[in-house]
């Protein structure tokens, strides 16, 4: 998993509440178990018409936001079914940080496990960032995980909370497998001793 330390990128505004996982990545794209290739279908039903053509008014289809790395959105983001494909699709598109007033619990947890930083902020602070994001190509926002700050294009700064263990994992690029591999030496020692003590196993 890629480390998340400091991210400076375009913030895209998606002022919708209750964006569920089926809106993020519709069910017909869940056949794969690969984490790559899903970005093209992120928000598929909002991005494309029935003929597969881009809908120009959708935010991620606008030239200013095609390379967005931060998403500023409404409350209860990621609700609905518990599909891990939702953070996979966001990450594959290039989104590394989602800022909202609240998140669905399972989606929130899945983000951390896939290298995405979800940040929950009070509504008034999200509104400020939404206003910044609506500036298009000038909507450059910096998210610094180490200092737990968000800096807007005008130099204003917002602080955010994050669980210390999850912060450690993101800063060091550790998913569940990475965390296990940190204990590789202890595991090897245990297995060698178990093999010696119980050779019949």
The single-letter DSSP state of residue 104 is -
Q: CA 117, 120, 123 angle in degrees (round to 5)?
A: 140
What is the spatial distance between Cα 73 and Cα 100, in angstroms, rounded to a whole number?
5
Q: Are 12 and 70 in contact (CB under 8 A)?
A: yes
Fold type of domain 6-173: Aconitase; domain 4 (3.20.19)
Q: CA 145, 112, 7 angle in degrees (round to 5)?
A: 35
Ordered per-residue pLDDT tens for the chain, 201 residues: 999 999 999 999 999 999 999 999 999 998 877 778 999 999 999 999 999 999 999 999 999 999 999 999 999 999 998 889 999 999 999 999 999 999 999 999 999 999 999 999 999 999 999 999 998 877 799 999 999 999 998 888 999 999 999 999 999 999 777 666 666 677 777 777 777 888 887
What is the spatial distance between Cα 144 and Cα 5, in angstroms, rounded to a whole number?
6
Structural domain boundaries of the chain? 6-173
Residue 174 neighbours by CB under 8 Å, 6+ apart? 1, 168, 182
Whole-model pTM: value is: 0.89
């Amino acid at each position: 998993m890629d480390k998340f330390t400091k991210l400076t990128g375009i913030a895209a505004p998606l002022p919708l509440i209750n964006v569920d996982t089926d809106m993020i990545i519709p069910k017909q794209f869940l056949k794969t178990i690969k984490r790559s290739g899903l970005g093209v279908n992120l928000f598929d039903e909002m991005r494309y018409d029935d003929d597969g053509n881009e809908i120009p008014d959708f935010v991620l289809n606008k030239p200013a936001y095609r390379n967005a790395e931060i998403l500023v959105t409404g409350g209860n983001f990621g609700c609905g079914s518990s599909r891990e494909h939702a953070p996979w699709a966001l990450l594959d598109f290039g989104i590394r940080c989602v800022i909202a007033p609240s998140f669905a619990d399972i989606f929130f947890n899945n983000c951390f496990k896939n290298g995405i930083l979800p940040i929950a902020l009070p509504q008034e602070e999200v509104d400020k960032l939404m206003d910044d994001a609506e500036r298009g190509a000038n909507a450059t926002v910096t998210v610094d995980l180490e200092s737990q700050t968000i800096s807007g294009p005008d130099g204003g700064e917002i602080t955010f909370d994050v669980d210390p263990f999850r912060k450690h994992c993101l800063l060091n690029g550790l998913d569940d497998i990475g965390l296990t591999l940190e204990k590789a030496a202890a595991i090897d020692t245990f297995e060698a001793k178990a093999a010696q003590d119980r050779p019949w196993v």
